Amino acid sequence: MDRRVVITGAGLITPLGIGIDETWSGLCAGKSGISEITRFDTSAFNTKIAGEVKGFRPEEFLPKKEAKRTQLFIAYAIAAARMALENASLKIDASNEHRIGIVTGCGLGGLSILEETSILIEKKGPRRVTPFFIPMMIGNMAAGMVSIHCGAKGPHSSVATACAAGTHAVGDAFNIIKRGAADAMLTGGVESVITPTCVAGFNSMKALSTRNDDPEKASRPFDRDRDGFVIGEGAGIVILEALEHALERGARIYAEISGYGMSGDGYHMTSPPPDGEGAARCMAAAIDDAGITYDKIDYINAHGTSTPLNDLYETRAIKSVFKEKAHSIAISSTKSMTGHLLGGAGGIETVITALTIREGIIPPTINYENPSEECDLDYVPNAARKADVEFAMSNSFGFGGTNASLVVKKYRE
């Protein structure tokens, strides 16, 4: 089988707000979700800023007792999945539960409970460790708890490919439906690791921005003065359906996923190759899978992390793939507003790409104030742009040289 796959629902939890409307309106307004970290004392840290989710109440989506013992990344996943199902008007019951599955991406899982438990063992001994520790820590529990809470019993998996995890999850779910193994999938990415260990680790790598005195200006992809990424948190879950399944139940269709590409750099633990060769092959594979030519792409939601090397090498990869058209493609990094959600990035950016197509508005790359010599493409600087987007691409690249790209297109009967 080679079925068409469409997006019929979405749920978002991001530093810009809870739900699709808050996040989308913030993106279109060029609003930053970056602020000072409130989760822990940052006085000894080089980086004191992050994209924290504000106003989220787990008990609104979970029983109060369960909410207290549920790690934040799992609660985000459950909440976003519930939003997506409601948004898609999709009900899971005994008649369809085995034909609806889930694939989520997550990079670091329950890092906060790992930190807390390590301290607890040192201070009070191993017998004080909660029996919920392992289930609260492991990254696949986001998919597991969504399955339990929403009743999806079809194909079930979790992806842990660092910052590419969310996009790999969506791509894997796309292929599951294409080959007929499921009629619908809940899929996307989730992350919540604004913790001392995470910030200290990325600081040690000199990967994070230290623009602490001006948080909203800190994430500045492709700008000459970019100095590192900003950690964000949240979840982005989409409902994918086989086209015939969506049409049969009269579902609203946001967009169609038509291509998925993967590749490996085989180059370095954390740095892409300078020519962006792996990313270029990944984008080319997605275009080939979609059955189109490179000149059809109108918009790219870039990986665009705001690190000096990533943005430069992604730009080189785009030029390699799109050749003379590279300068006429609209490109934006919405991480300039949400921060980098690591394993959750691909999930929210899939939703953003679909909304871009449906709404005819391209979100900007904010804080692009000083053009860089080689980063000289059309990054939709600082203000949203109206545009008729027929085909769009979303990129995610992760540590270990793992790459993922999706091609999303406007749905036509």
CB crowding 3-15: b at 16 or more within 10 Å, else e: ebbbbbbbbbbbb
**pLDDT attached to residue 413:** 85
* Catalytic hit among 163, 198, 282, 375: 163
Asked if 67 and 58 touch (Cβ cutoff 8 Å), the reply is yes
156 is catalytic: no
**pLDDT attached to residue 391:** 98
CATH of 1-400, one of 3.40.50.720, 3.10.350.10, 3.40.47.10, 3.30.230.10: 3.40.47.10
Strand 184-191 relative to strand 100-105, pairing: parallel
**pLDDT attached to residue 288:** 98
Separation of alpha carbons 52 and 40, rounded Å: 12
Separation of alpha carbons 374 and 219, rounded Å: 19
Helix (H, G, I), strand (E, B) or coil at 309: helix
* Catalytic hit among 156, 168, 245, 340: 340
**pLDDT attached to residue 68:** 87
**pLDDT attached to residue 373:** 87
149 is catalytic: no
**pLDDT attached to residue 340:** 98
Name residues of the chain where pLDDT drops below 70.
1
Separation of alpha carbons 83 and 190, rounded Å: 14
Q: What is the pLDDT of residues 141-153, one digit of tens each?
A: 999 999 999 999 9
For the chain, domain boundaries: 1-400
List the Cα angle 223/340/161 in 5-degree steps. Answer: 120
* Catalytic hit among 28, 106, 303, 375: 303
**pLDDT attached to residue 28:** 98
pTM confidence score: 0.97
Supply the DSSP symbol for 364: P
